[in-house]
Amino acid sequence: MSLQLITGQSTNFAVEKPTLSSLFRRQPIERLAPGFAVFWEGDEARNIFEVVEGMLRVYRILNDGRRVILGFVRPGDLLGVSLKGHYLYTVEAITPVELRRLPKHHFESLSEREPHLKEQLFSKLCDEMAAAQDQMVLFSRRSAEEKLAGFLLLMARGHVRNRRMLIDLPMTRLDIADYLGMTIETVSRTITKLSGCGVIATVERRAIALMNMDALIALAGGELEDSSFRQAYDRRHAMA
Amino acid sequence: MSLQLITGQSTNFAVEKPTLSSLFRRQPIERLAPGFAVFWEGDEARNIFEVVEGMLRVYRILNDGRRVILGFVRPGDLLGVSLKGHYLYTVEAITPVELRRLPKHHFESLSEREPHLKEQLFSKLCDEMAAAQDQMVLFSRRSAEEKLAGFLLLMARGHVRNRRMLIDLPMTRLDIADYLGMTIETVSRTITKLSGCGVIATVERRAIALMNMDALIALAGGELEDSSFRQAYDRRHAMA
DNA sequence: CGCTGATTTGACAAGGTTCAAGCGAAGTGG
DNA sequence: CCACTTCGCTTGAACCTTGTCAAATCAGCG
């Protein structure tokens, strides 16, 4: 009787199929100070990570010393999801970060018995893939204004419904520049310009207020980067 | 006795676990003329395709009418690998194309019994992911020269070992431009420029000879885009 | 041969990079 | 507590690449 009560109360310990997130929830939280790396490009890929708190940058260093930022990672995102033997990029904390580590072999042996775990990972990878393609679209924007507007909308995530909102930009201008493929000067100038138009307002160094969401979306080319919105898209060219 | 002989000879019909490619090989070949689409962005994603022959372009049309080419697809590549309910892009034949179609539900019911099929698809998706990231790096190159050099190396695939080689470019200049995020004029000018340096030579409209592979690699930033090469990369920054 | 569509080439302007300097906030050490 | 340094960010000016517009050239095809 009493045992039933307990299991009834704390559903976390109910005997259910383990989900990906329940697997992670069993792992202890690890903390990382800004500037420190979770792993380096080329490291043997032994773990998968789930970000619990904070923001990180994913990047590669090219031969000529240039740094290309492939993306920013936030709570809920997974890191190191790949069958490759080595990590394909470096991941570094921007803010103080909390994450959980899951050894790959651990996941693999478990997913032998629980195929739906693979399913979930697969689904995550598909999301990541879609996000990567969205980013390629973002990159292909020509002007600095379009790129930055797109970037800000990306950082606003799904909250585009609100006409006004405040977004955190914990990364430096250099991070943004290396992400969008421009220079810090152009990033800075463009932010100044958008502030001048009243589209955005710089609240603090690392926070920006989106003052006129419609204008921002229009500047970004009218396209919502968030692929969840594109689902409802009508096929304009089906008859072309 | 005779039965054993037969199964011994034609290993294709041996009672083995079906692989992804053996699954596809059972499907009839479908042909597609240049300019025709395999599927459209937004279509319900009912099938997975394997390209057998030819080249296709993968693209999205933005609100403002601009076309962004996300990639080119060649024999051996899969199309429509995703758990999304709808295709995220349009795929169109550039050359005459041969492909095989596999209904998604068919694959799914099969992979229930044969988990390693999912494994293979997962692996493919990982490859695609890595390729997408390579492309983001390619995009982030600044000058038109770097981008085009990188693009040519990408089209040369793994054949970078040869000091000289001939590559097909069945796509138009506009395709290349929409892929690299530049204009046809710049693409054309850059090709002319590289020809002038003796790095490449335009054999035909749709074929280019790579005359000096080392110079081309240097122009592309010294980085080999093909991720299979990067595997062997040493970690320069592990001690930073 | 004359059409059409793709490609190349030229001239010019716009926008972004580069180089250089100034600003402002945070942290350090006297 | 106040110089002093540092780092990230902004701003300015000159230069250069690329986009734009326009025209010429080329290739394929009826």
DSSP β-bridge partners for residue B44: B86
Residue B15 has a pLDDT of 57
Q: How many residues does chain A have?
A: 240
pLDDT band (50, 70, 90) for residue B234? very low
B169 contacts B55 by C-beta, under 8 angstroms: no
Nucleic strand C interface residues, CB < 7 Å: A 143-145, 181-183, 185-186, 189-190, 205; B 142, 172-174, 184-185, 187-189, 191-192, 202, 205-206
A154 or B228, which is more confident?
A154
pLDDT of residue B223: 59
Sign of CA dihedral B112, B117, B119, B122: negative
End-to-end alpha-carbon separation of chain A, Å? Answer: 67
- Strands in A165-168's sheet, in edge-to-edge order, are A165-168, A207-210, A200-204
Q: Which CATH class is domain A14-138?
A: mainly beta
Which of residues A192 and B19 earns the better pLDDT score? Answer: A192
Domain boundaries, chain A: 14-138, 142-230
Which CATH code for domain B2-138? Answer: 2.60.120.10
Question: What residues of chain A lie within 8 A of the CB of B141, using their CB?
Answer: 181
| pLDDT exceeds 70 at position B12 | no
Name the residue among B64, B89, B126 with its Cβ closest to that of A221: B64
Is B4 or A25 the better-scoring residue by pLDDT? A25
pLDDT in tens, A142-164: 899 999 999 999 999 867 777 88
Residues of A in contact with B44 (CB under 8 A): none
> What's residue A157's pLDDT?
80
- Contact call for residues B82 and B45 (beta carbons, < 8 A): yes
Q: Which of B43, B86, B88, B230 to probe by mutation at the A interface, max A CB count within 10 Å?
A: B88
Name the residue type at position A176. I
Q: Over chain A (240 residues), what is each successive 10-residue block's mean pLDDT?
A: 42 63 92 94 95 96 89 93 88 96 90 82 87 85 92 85 87 96 96 94 90 91 52 30
**Percentage, residues of chain A above pLDDT 90:** 55
Residue A237: predicted pLDDT: 28
The model's pLDDT over B117-160, given as tens digits with 9 standing for 90+, comes to 888 888 888 888 888 888 888 878 889 999 999 999 999 986 77
CB-CB contact of B121 with B82 (8 Å): no
Residue A127, token pair as written in the block: 């999301």
Q: Which CATH architecture has domain B142-230?
A: Orthogonal Bundle (1.10)
pTM reported for the whole predicted model: 0.85
B136 with A137: Cβ contact below 8 A: no
**pLDDT confidence of residue B91:** 97
Indicate whether B31 pLDDT > 60: yes
